Structures are given as structure tokens and as C-alpha cells.
Amino acid sequence: MNSFDEIFDLVKEFCKTQMTEVAYNLWIKDIEPVKLTVEKVELSVNSEFKQNIVSEKYSELLAKGFENVLGFPVEVVILQDVHNPKRIVPDYPPIPEPKMMEPGEYEYTFDTFIVGSSNKFAHAAAMAVATHDIRNYNPLFIHGDSGLGKTHLLFAIMNEVKRRRPDSVVAYVKGEEFTNELIAAIRSQTTPEFREKYRKVDYLLVDDIQFIAGRDSTQEEFFHTFNALHEAGKQIVLVSDRPPKEIKTLEDRLRTRFEMGLMADIQPADFETRIAIIQRKADLLKMDMPGEVAEYIANNLKSNIRQLEGAVKNIKANSLIYENKPITILMAQTAIRDILNDNQPIPVTISKIISEVGRTFNISEQDIKSNKRAANISKARQVAMYVIKDITQMSMAAIGEEFGGRDHSTVVYAISQTEKMMKTDSHLREIIEDITKNVKDM
């Protein structure tokens, strides 16, 4: 195995965390690395159809993955059916084949979940749900900030159930995906099949449940799905970035049901747990991680497990590129600086805000940015401008440019109107608070 193979394994591991398992297996898993230079990456797929899809839909994700691993941007080119031997430019010489586990083999099991004081209750509850029939834990509601291991516990439950009870039917879905599937089912008149899919499972695991809040038809459907499963004694596990009482636009009837079982929160990991996470990731990547480097990372990245693991992967990639150069604090400093400075570009944030406002108000992004003056569209447009200003602190003129070149006075009016409505309309204020939190968690 050469250095490019290992780098691309890390890129694929990154992609796996950003998409569904079905999409990953279909479009990313079988891509072959061909050539790597300091400016461009060439990858190969086995058909013209796949080349077109990957180029159109996943080249940006792959580029982000390479930048995440390498620490610098490269152009990603998708080729078709390249049979030539893989070529490595002189800057990236082959290295001896290491004994690495394949990406995904170790992730998302209880064995690989590092237990500390900040998460031991949630871990114990998840383990109990996976290994025993405990009706008092139904539903199990796990909440905590992004990047603390909530999704890890969901997949650990799924993997443990499949190991112990392979005949059990386990469904994992994200709140936003549940909403999108329901919309598609309504449009295609296949809601009976949609209900059949989710109401005949033994375990329903829902990630980011907060994304169903504020969507009336989705909440209605999930309410009945929840009742059907709960009455049948099936296990429900829900994960959110905040407890039910803080999901402002969640219907009361759902809030009470989410709180009727067991609530378990996850807090940021303490120093000892962060060290253990870093060492575990280093061991899995077959890295010789010096203690002082692990301590440096743990002291500088305190609130997010993904950042800890990302720093280790970044250091691994740099070590491979530079011919297995010994790991130093300087390498850790570079990795941490890249992670802490990895703020999303403002255009990406704006797109996410408009998308989330559109989903919340059931209005297309095109209509929000258009000149249409229907009351519901104007309200959504005003809210979008308000949230963009609140999150990005862009100037009024710059925000106006994002909405077809509107004058800054129009933006000033939109924001002031939204602020005025929020003072008298508590429901709208809660909707906007949820939109803001959801965008920051995306």
C-alpha cells in the first residue's frame, strides 16, 4: 500500500460521516485513487454514468475530504475506468504497508466508545437498551451539544442489537430525512408504504429529532408512529442537540412523550477522557502518539470529540506525506489551527439559512430569493434576512445583494419588521430561535 491509498482511505472515512450509508456504498466506496499532486487529485470510477453523478454531486464533498485530511485544497477530477497503474508524484513517495484497520470496522460500537464522567450515564442507558428489554427506558432521549458522541451511541445500539438479535428490524433515520421521506411519500401517494416502513420495526433510532419541530405534517406523522411503536412495546431512541423543553416549536403532545421515558445528557469530555479518545484514535490509525502531543491536543480542543479525532487524522496524513516523519507538537499546532480556523464560508452559511427557513415555512428557496410579494413568502424572506444578519453580521447592503440586489433600506425594513413581530409573537420568536440553532448544528 502507498501513501495515496492511505490518504484516500481517510478521505472516504470522512465522506462516510457526511452522507447516508446507502449513498456512500453506491457512489464513494468503490472509487479508485489514481494520481495525487500538490494541486490536483485524479480518481477513477467504472462507468460514464457514475462519473457524471460523482462529478456533479460528490466532487465538492471529496474535495472537502481531501482538504480535511491534507490540510490544503486540491482540485478533484473524476475519470472513467482508468486501468493504468496508480502513479504517485515524487513529492509523495511510497511507504511500507502499515497494519491499519479498514475505515468503519472500529467505529460506532460500544467497545470503541470512550466512557468518562461526562457520558457514563448515557452510555449505560444505551447499553441497557441494546442488551435488555427495558420498557422503562422507552423512549430513551439522549441530548447534548454537537460532536460529543450521540450518533456513536445510536450506531452502537444498532450494531449491538444486530449482533445479539440478528432477526430484529432496526431503523436509523435522521429527523430531516424522515421529513423528506414523508414529503416524497405524500407527493407520490405512497404514505401507506412509508408508514409500513417505520411502524413495523423493533427499534426506531432517530438522530437530530429537533429537525422535525415546526413542521406540522411531519410532527403529526411522527406522533402516530411513536404511539404505534410504543403501544407495541417496540424500543424508541431519540437524539437531539437539546432537551425537549428547549425545542421551542415542538408540539406539546410530542414533548410530553419524549420526556416520558429516560432522559440522558452528554457533557463535554473531561481531560482524562479526551486523552483516552486521542490515544484510541491514534492506536486505530497505528500511530506512535507521544504523550506530550496527546496532552497538547487535549488541552487545546475541549468541547468536541470530532475535533479531537480530526486532529489525530490530520497529523497522521501529514506524517504519511512527509515519509512517516516523527510526530511533534508543531504538527499538532498546525492540525489544531486548521481545525479551529475551519469556519464555513459565508456563502455556505447563507445557503443553509435560506434552506432552513424554506423548509420551516414550506416555501422554496427560489421563492424566498425572488420578487414575489405573497404574504407568506415576504414573511419568510424577512426572517431569512434577519437570521443572516444575526449569524453572519453581514452589512445590510451585502445581504441585499444575496436577495437579487435589493437596496439596503429594504433589508433594514425587513429586519426591523421581524424584530417587531418577535416582540409580540412568541411563536414566531421560537421558530426563529430553532432555525438559528438548527443552522449552527448543520
* pLDDT, tens digit (0-9, with 9 covering 90-100), for 36-67: 887 889 999 987 767 877 888 889 999 999 88
The pLDDT value given to residue 224: 94
Give the residue-averaged pLDDT of 120-133: 89
Give the residue-averaged pLDDT of 399-410: 88
The pLDDT value given to residue 23: 73
Pick 88 or 258 by higher pLDDT.
Answer: 258
**What does pTM read for this prediction?**
0.62
Provide the H-helix boundaries in 132-215. 150-164, 175-188, 191-199
Q: Is the pLDDT score of 434 beyond 80? A: yes
The pLDDT value given to residue 158: 93
* CATH 1.10.1750.10, the chain: domain bounds: 346-441
Pick 334 or 265 by higher pLDDT.
Answer: 265
Q: CA-CA distance, 340 to 358, in Å (whole number)?
A: 30
CATH code, residues 1-96: 3.30.300.180
* CATH 3.40.50.300, the chain: domain bounds: 120-265
Assign 252 a pLDDT band (cuts: 50, 70, 90): very high
* CATH 3.30.300.180, the chain: domain bounds: 1-96
What DSSP designation does 96 have? Answer: P
Q: Which are the contacts of 368, defined by CB distance < 8 A and separation ≥ 6?
A: 354, 357, 358, 377, 380, 381, 384, 403
Assign 87 a pLDDT band (cuts: 50, 70, 90): very low
Question: What phi, psi does 80 have (nearest 5°)?
Answer: -110, 125
Q: CA-CA distance, 400 to 394, in Å (whole number)?
A: 10
Pick 321 or 158 by higher pLDDT.
Answer: 158
Give the residue-averaged pLDDT of 351-361: 87
Q: Which of these CATH numbers, 2.40.160.50, 3.40.50.300, 3.40.50.2300, 1.10.3720.10, describes 120-265?
A: 3.40.50.300
**% of the chain beyond a pLDDT of 90:** 32
The pLDDT value given to residue 203: 94
Show the CA angle centred on residue 135, arms to residues 132 and 141, nearest 5°: 95
Sign of CA dihedral 309, 315, 321, 327: negative
Residue burial 336-369, b: 16+ Cβ < 10 Å; e: rest: bebbeeeeeeeeebbebbbbbbbbbbebebebbb
CA-wise closest residue to 436 among 237, 182, 213, 257? 213
Architecture of domain 346-441: Orthogonal Bundle (1.10)
